Structure 1
């Protein structure tokens, strides 16, 4: 999941029927020349895209009958933009899609199934929980390219100066440690990004989620959810914690503060590894500590995210075949190894965790944290629930609403997205 989640989701677009996908591929070909497919890459244009561009050239060299039109699309715009073009014309043949987009895109008829194709030929070599997350109603619609979760990133030097010898195992320990950092170093101990995605560990830590899809029940205002958000609220009120940033630049501001040693710890994922190592505080890469998130009363938990490569259902047969070859190449073990080594992100297949990859401490640490990753509920509206949650979460964290009142308001908003779900 990424980092500036789309602020709004065009839910209405999910109702567009599959017949709307007949606009065809934005790629081109003729009888005598190579087929050209279009790929929308949603990776970070500054820190990650260069690796993918290099792999595109490698693919074209290995497949001279296929050309790839590379297009960088900002992650925050990609979901809505794809929904718009997939319902008319101009859609890319291949999209790098957040794992949470799959159910909605499938139900709208936008994605082609990949079972039995070249794209899925090595699906048995992938982590099977990630393959399951790329399925909808039993069919495979994507091939996992990178995976991620959230961990506690911390500045080892600041922790040492504060007398902290190990990362906190509970949220109460985090509060105590952050007060020590502030007292001993003068630096803020912890900063929190008030996006719904980053609040999920506080729900998972109490054994709950936003919804229970199996029971068709909204759980956002359950006692466990209230306890989880109460815990988050208490963390942000603790001594040594940086004042909550609710501006539109909060994400960038928090990362800048952490990267330059002005805050000691944050909740973040491996997609920021390459960026963090450019910061003044982490010129020595060994100064970056990464640990599993502190536990709530029910244990640890963090959202299991990442990106799949998906194929557009409206492309013709020739473009579909070329897209499948491209997806297979980009998710192969050698490609995933290159991506991991260059970008510091996590592969999705076991044979890509080579000795070189696991030697990188930032990858090894997040790989261990994956065991506590919680997959998203398999419903099209799940990502939209984040958008429904965020304004009320900010109200809670800025004391405009109590956790109970804020979660009741979020549950009411969720009910509008999921009218057939019970809202106790």
Structure 2
């Protein structure tokens, strides 16, 4: 079962963004407060100060600590004896670097949405600042808290698949197969280069499953080739569909399909790891199961929470409600927030969590994909 032995003082925590109507803001709050390790005491929730104050007050935050912007919040909280210790950034991509850097300079731990910045150079600056100040900088790859992905990683590390040959990754939904950005504010900023950055679906979707591939296999990319398309023409130059081929330093090869125009599809976030002995496949719509295929043997469906798993791995053992019950998205996020809290208290002891290095790899993916696609699909060194 999930380990609840960490009796830590709740961290005084704030949010930037994630206000009324934000699905991702709700996910951050539900995850952070689930284990009592974070206490929401302040926030700059909305560009509209009055709306943000009203929203924060309804969450139980003191109205005087519902600030009109992040800079005001950082200044005011810095002089309080009970000021914030950590902040989560749930704002559009273009703001991540400035807010993250300001929070680090204010001495705060940071949890940031992805892609963490527009450029690798910016992400590396955040890393240097966090390291210099001894602060945690987490990047919210929220799917990586699922126990069965940690099971996949444990099996790869144990050599159960043999040498890894293929890594096939996809995150391809159909909800933006029409120009929904004309009526959806969330879709509008995601398809705006000034706010989203140099990519749309590669940054919004592709970085998630790419991160899972890196996490599970530990393989390092040597070079890649990218083709990207804007099937809804008004989204150009940002892509709503992309295919990426990857070559790893080990000799393995991979593919990544990111799409928002896979009409009729809910999510289709899948990852398949193929080794010389066996293969593993995981699908986020069925996150409690891991498909294990060994050549010349029947297919095995491994179930979360069962004793035959690698339960000595804390990522595998972090079940919250036991096998058979359906754990989901919020549980995965809560598992990560639990790890962030332990790290912020200086008690991580090698405990894994998605950090700024993972964020840098995601931004590097985007930079290389844009370079490749803009050069007619040329191979680009990673």
Work out whether the TM-score is over 0.5. no
Greater strand proportion: 2
Relative to the length of structure 1, the TM-score reads 0.32
Provide the TM-score with structure 2 as the length reference.
Answer: 0.34
Q: Which has the higher relative contact order, 1 or 2, with Cα contacts under 8 A spaced 6 or more apart?
A: 1
Structure with greater proportional helix content: 1
